[in-house]
Amino acid sequence: MNQPAPHIIFARNRRLAARRRALGLQQRTDSARYLIDDMVEDVLERLDFLRHEPARGLVIGDWTGDLAKALRARDVDVAEADPASGFDDEAPFPDTGFDLIVSLSALDTVNDLPGALIHMRNALNPGGLALSSFVAAGSLPALRAAMLEADGERPAPRLHPAVDVRAGGQLLQRAGWARPVVDSRHLDVRFSSLHSLIADLRAQGLSNCLANPGPALGKEALARAVRSFGSATVERFEILTLSGWKA
């Protein structure tokens, strides 16, 4: 029996454009990269805790290259891939036989998340470990409030729907991962203005890539959003990590 096609929430071309723009912005020395840095550090700590010593690994979505470099220092044969370079998370992987697959900040904007997790599991060797971290539900409350203030009585879709811990656990079970674990942590960042937050989101590939993003904010609506967000505002990023093994 054929599975129903996933609902189209994100536009593939907008997702690709956002990630390519982020890669370009990351060439600047002052570009924000605190989210990917946090994810890389977390992955290395998890590998130490689990005492997992893979021979062959795949890193997806880390434009810094830091995780691959750290893994190579541990004598891991590492391949790297990124959606901005043509890697399709929602298709069977072009290569298999990995002992470790890590996806960083890549699966939050796929339409078929269960399918992407299945493809990841299928690319592992038996006993292989998969880790996926991305920005999750509960993130950007100040920005959400500012957008609601800007739109008034007719709110438009402006921020991405996101996965929470409960949904993450259900997804791992559906994808057939063994010994699934889901957890989240938060990262609080202070911003001087709404514009500084938006610049950081663009630099980290987190700008709007909804298939139906709604109309652009007009001048008055944008002014309301800026006032609502204020200055010296602390914004929260919730980072969800899905981990599991291939039996």
- What's the whole-number mean pLDDT along residues 227-236? 96
Do the beta carbons of residue 129 and residue 179 sit within 8 Å?
Answer: no
Predicted pLDDT at 7: 84
The rounded mean pLDDT for the chain is 95
- Cα separation of 114 and 242, whole Å? 12
What percentage of the chain has pLDDT greater than the value 90? 95
Domain boundaries, the chain: 12-138+161-186+239-245
Task: For residue 80, give the nearest of 204, 64, 91 by alpha carbon.
Answer: 64
Residue 171 scores a pLDDT above 90: yes
- What's the whole-number mean pLDDT along residues 137-147? 97
Least confident interval from 5-9, 118-122, 124-128: 5-9
SS3 of residue 204 by DSSP: coil
Beta strand 124-135 pairing with 77-81: unpaired
**E strand or H helix at 80, and its extent?**
strand 77-81
Residue 242 scores a pLDDT above 50: yes
How many residues does the structure list for the chain?
Answer: 247
pLDDT tier, 214 (very low <50, low <70, confident <90, very high otherwise): confident
Q: CATH homologous superfamily of domain 12-138+161-186+239-245? A: Vaccinia Virus protein VP39 (3.40.50.150)
Residue 130 scores a pLDDT above 90: yes
pLDDT digits over 3-36, tens only?
566 689 999 999 999 999 999 999 999 999 999 9
Task: For residue 162, give the nearest of 82, 60, 240 by alpha carbon.
Answer: 240
Predicted pLDDT at 1: 46
- Cα separation of 27 and 187, whole Å? 24
CA dihedral sign, ordered 200, 185, 45, 169: negative
Residue 180: half-sphere exposure toward Cβ, Cα within 13 Å: 18
- What's the whole-number mean pLDDT along residues 138-145? 97
Q: Phi and psi at residue 121, in whole multiples of 5°?
A: -60, -40
Here the tokens at position 143 are: 């920005």
Do the beta carbons of residue 62 and residue 40 sit within 8 Å?
Answer: yes
pLDDT digits over 47-105, tens only?
999 999 999 999 999 999 999 999 999 999 999 999 999 999 999 999 999 999 999 99
Please enumerate in sequence order all residues whose Cβ is within 8 A of that of 3, keeping only pairs 6 or more positions apart, or say none.
Answer: none
Q: How far apart are the first and last CA of the chain?
A: 25
Predicted pLDDT at 147: 96
CA dihedral sign, ordered 168, 37, 138, 161: negative
Identity of the residue numbered 16: L
